Amino acid sequence: MPAPHDPVLDIAEARLVTLPSRPGRGALTMSVHEVGSDADPTLPVVVFSHGFPELGYSWRYQLPAVAAAGFRAIAPDQRGYGGTDAPEAIEAYDLGSLCGDLDLLCEQLGIERAVFVGHDWGGAVAWAMPALRPQRVAGIVGVCTPMMALPTTDLLESLVDGDIQRQYMLWFQEPGVAEAAMEPHIGDLFHKLMVGGIPPEEVLERLESTGKVDMNPFRDLAALESVGEPIVSDAEIDRYIETFRRTGLRGGVNWYRNMDRNVALYPSVARSDPGVPALMLAAEWDPALPPALSERMGDVIADLERHVIPRAGHWVQQEAPVEVNELLIGWLTRRFGG
């Protein structure tokens, strides 16, 4: 069932922050939600990084809770999403650009060091920050996304015997294909996919019902069977739909089109201890990033706390906000005060 709606979730309208140009990259204007601007300046700021297809608004349950615990909390629409600029070039969406955005955003907002919290693709950005912008990082929190080696398209092709139609990240690679298939069905995208988790054995049974494992729920959204209970209210889901109908999906999908580029340019990402306190929050019923992927993180990260949130799926920060907030705020206060 949807989490109870509370007026505090109607977070303040985002403000625009312009990031200066960098060598090889132009200026970028980001849309940023912020709560707790009067927080204790001795505490690190908490910067939230969303995934696909989400927005800074996806952290609406976390922002007020983290601010109430004494921390300044910030969640931008990331490059290519919502009210933030969406450059044309595919290469503008590599990890160097995405981490650079968060680094420059902190600089523009007078933030010396921050705890970076990332979900889904935003988790990959958060785990890349210690390798690419170490001076800015006080801590890392992965929500569903573990610290792990970046995948290549060759690896993904091997999982589906080269049938790119059955693997959504491969299907995303050809410019324009995914956009043309998905954008006429934005309503289906959010109504059918932004639902709660179901037990993994049920997921596997559905995947194998046709005789082939199909890992591409995006290819035919109109025909996609809806599973799981709704986890957001109609008003909340309408906000996603209205935004993505306006912006389209090109910016977000372009993140995936840099997978091989990221591996080639940033080989040190997620390869060693980040050297800062880290928290991993896995979701028991996440079919995209199951808890098993994070079980061995403690072998690499010396200062790691890990939890599995029971009976929750991929959109865990929206499906189980009370549990996520308790674990996140508990860790923040133990490690940094507040």
Catalytic (active-site) positions:
120, 314
Task: Provide the residue type at 130 as one letter.
Answer: P
Distance of CA 328 to the CA centre of its chain: 16
- Name the pairing type of β-strands 278-283 and 304-309: parallel
Instruction: Report how far residue 283's alpha carbon sits from residue 228's, in angstroms, rounded to the nearest whole number.
Output: 15
- Sign of CA pseudo-dihedral 160, 163, 165, 168: positive
Torsion of CA 215, 194, 13, 122, to 10 degrees: -30
Contact 100, 22 (CB under 8 A): yes
Find the angle CA(192)-CA(193)-CA(197) to the nearest 5 degrees: 115
Beta-bridged to residue 230, according to DSSP, are: 195
Structural element, H or E, at residue 308 = strand 304-309
Q: Is the dihedral of CA 311, 316, 320, 324 positive or negative?
A: positive
Sheet holding 137-143, edge to edge: 15-19, 28-35, 73-76, 45-49, 114-119, 137-143, 278-283, 304-309
